[in-house]
Amino acid sequence: MALLLADPPALRKARGAFFTPPPIAEFLSRWAIRTPDARVLDPTCGEAVFLLAAAERLRKLGASETAIADQLTGVDLHQPSLNASGALLELAGAGARLVRSDFFELSTPAQIEDRVGWQDVVIGNPPFVRYQEHRGHTRKRSIAAAFEQGVRLSGLASSWAATLAHASAFLGPDGRLAMVLPAELLTVGYAEPIRRWLRRRFAVVNLVMFEQLQFHGADENVVLLVARGRGPCDSFCLFHVDGAEDLAELHPLDPIGATPAAEGKWSDLTLPFEVRQLFRGAAQRMVGLQEYGAPTLGTVTGANDFFALSEATRVQYAIPERHLLRISPPGTRHLKGLSFSRAQWEELKLSGQRVWLLHPSSPVRSKGLAEYLQHGRECKVPEAYKCTVRDPWWRPPVVPVPDLFFTYMSHRYPRLIANTAKAAFLNSMLGVRLNKEAPAATREALPLLALNSLTMLGAEIMGRAYGGGILKMEPSEAAILPVPGPQALEMAWSSLSLRAPELDAALGRGEWWSVVAEVDTVLLHGALGLTSDEIVAIRDAATLLRVRRTRQTEAHSQASQT
């Protein structure tokens, strides 16, 4: 198997190349290749796993070895991978036309410089390179190639999105596209143009979703996309399996029909049909968080280690408090209850937490402050990007003090916290300033009432899982998080307000599920009218998605240690 080690794992990861498990390649080949004369293209062929599976599929359909060599085409920019592909195909008694090229520079069959011709099948696993590494001239070519297919990608798009769009240009009228894609196809904002395009471009779109991670060395789950025909989409189906070994038992007549949203994420497709319908209906009885106030990111300093000070540092440099603002310290671990009070802030100050934000008045007339700013210059803080684009560099623009904090990076669930300390905040969380129309009790009530199964399920659907099992919600995602509307809020709060101190204490002890159960009874059942069975189904779905999010990360961690 030395041929598979064309370069070290670190270099493979840098260029987004992960070895596809053979059962996945075999399944996609079986589904996409239907006739012995099918022409098949792998636009990023790596080490031939898809070409080998396609050759075997064509053999079973009756194609001769000579014909197979003419029908298969593999493209890759990486010469060692092409060399490995050729050697592996030769060992398997198969052949293919191997083309060394940047796929985005390869002309489509509709262009004069075409080198590969129209294809019946395009199959493969596009490289997954995030936008931070996918840049420069290569990025410009990929964006242009996608745009030619009617897909306008944002600057945050990873490499797979443009590859998918460009690959479709090689398909004939009844061609089939079979691709391994990151599961973020369903969940991230930058994939929205791709989701819209898929429904325009193809008549039939099928997705296969996995419960388990499928790629060793990658912490991103994947979906399998099979699409065919000319759009608009008239058939959208999905399949759920545990892992690649279950694909052999998957029958094309076993799909579950789905109607994905015309706009926005497809995250709720991970739910069973009945629960998906239940969630969509129940969420309509709530409002988006933005109805109370727009979630905004906290102050971006450019160098939190310098601008967020502890009391000890303030005393050391004798910085007057008039040059500082009280803040909730960086991070959210100290936010354990329903509110953040001035007394809690004082405790954090005494314990050495960074509770001050440097925000000097101008001009600077404090000797201690001048010394601290000189310390910052010696540490090259003014060279940080955010500091270079403001004048003066030492006064970060402060976001208005919010009524509520929102923990947008969460392991269990995102939470709202009443900011009774009236502290400023940094970009480690979001903040919400309540509208004037919000009920008077909103600041105290919403942090507790948001701890319900429907809101928590909404967070799992609308947010995105990151490494370590973390769930992240961007401001735009937090804005549409379903929370109780004003009428339901006041009704439920009238029953729970007296219980709030006890429930807050239970949260502090880690008994959060008991709090959720009580809020569900009062809010979802009493105020919104959901039945007990419906509440249990929603709660179970939220648990399933959270367990899936954290379990995949644990499985990846265990695999990387073996």
Same domain, 196 and 334: no
* Mean pLDDT score of the chain: 87
CB 418 within 8 A of CB 403: yes
Residue type at 30 in one-letter notation: R
For tokens 């090229």, the residue is 101
- In the chain, how many domains are there? 3
CB 531 within 8 A of CB 525: yes
Is the model more confident about 428 or about 138?
Answer: 428
In a domain, 354, yes or no: yes
Which of these, 109, 125, 116, lies nearest to 41 by C-alpha position?
Answer: 116
Give me 43's structure tokens.
Answer: 């636009």
Last residue of a domain, one of 239, 260, 281: 260
Give me 345's structure tokens.
Answer: 């802030």
Same domain, 62 and 155: yes
Which of these, 27, 29, 45, lies nearest to 88 by C-alpha position?
Answer: 45
Same domain, 508 and 481: yes
In a domain, 7, yes or no: no
Structural domain range at position 339 = 299-398
- Let me know if 105 is exposed, middle or buried by CB neighbors in 10 A (0-12, 13-18, 19+): exposed
Is the model more confident about 127 or about 399?
Answer: 399
In a domain, 3, yes or no: no
In a domain, 102, yes or no: yes
Three-class HEC string of 344-388: HHHHHHHCCCCCEEECCCCCCCCHHHHHHHHHHHHCCHHHCHHHH
DSSP string for residues in 499-540: GHHHHHHHHHTT-HHHHHHHHIIIIIIIIT---HHHHHHHHH
CA–CA distance, 522 with 24 (Å, rounded to integer) = 47
Same domain, 443 and 520: yes
pLDDT of residue 255: 59
In a domain, 506, yes or no: yes
* Residue 206 clears pLDDT 70, i.e. is over it: yes
Q: Break the chain down into helix, strand, coil percent, rounded to 5.
A: 45, 15, 40
CA–CA distance, 477 with 192 (Å, rounded to integer) = 13
Quote the percentage of the chain above a pLDDT of 70.
Answer: 90
For the segment 286-338, what is each residue's pLDDT rounded down to a tens digit?
999 999 999 999 999 999 999 999 999 999 999 999 999 999 999 999 998 99
In a domain, 10, yes or no: no
* Residue 134 clears pLDDT 70, i.e. is over it: no
Same domain, 444 and 328: no
CB 61 within 8 A of CB 52: no
Same domain, 220 and 245: yes
Same domain, 329 and 469: no
CA–CA distance, 424 with 339 (Å, rounded to integer) = 14
Same domain, 104 and 152: yes
Quote the percentage of the chain above a pLDDT of 90.
Answer: 64
CB 73 within 8 A of CB 42: yes
Angle at CA 457, nearest 5°, toward 557 and 499?
A: 110
CA–CA distance, 122 with 120 (Å, rounded to integer) = 7
CA–CA distance, 284 with 489 (Å, rounded to integer) = 15
> Sorting pLDDT into bands at 50, 70 and 90, what band is 122?
very high
Angle at CA 558, nearest 5°, toward 19 and 238?
A: 55
pLDDT of residue 515: 97
In a domain, 242, yes or no: yes
Mean pLDDT of all residues in 458-468: 85
* Residue 439 clears pLDDT 70, i.e. is over it: yes
In a domain, 15, yes or no: no
Q: At 200, which CATH number?
A: 3.40.50.150
CA–CA distance, 26 with 245 (Å, rounded to integer) = 11
Same domain, 444 and 534: yes
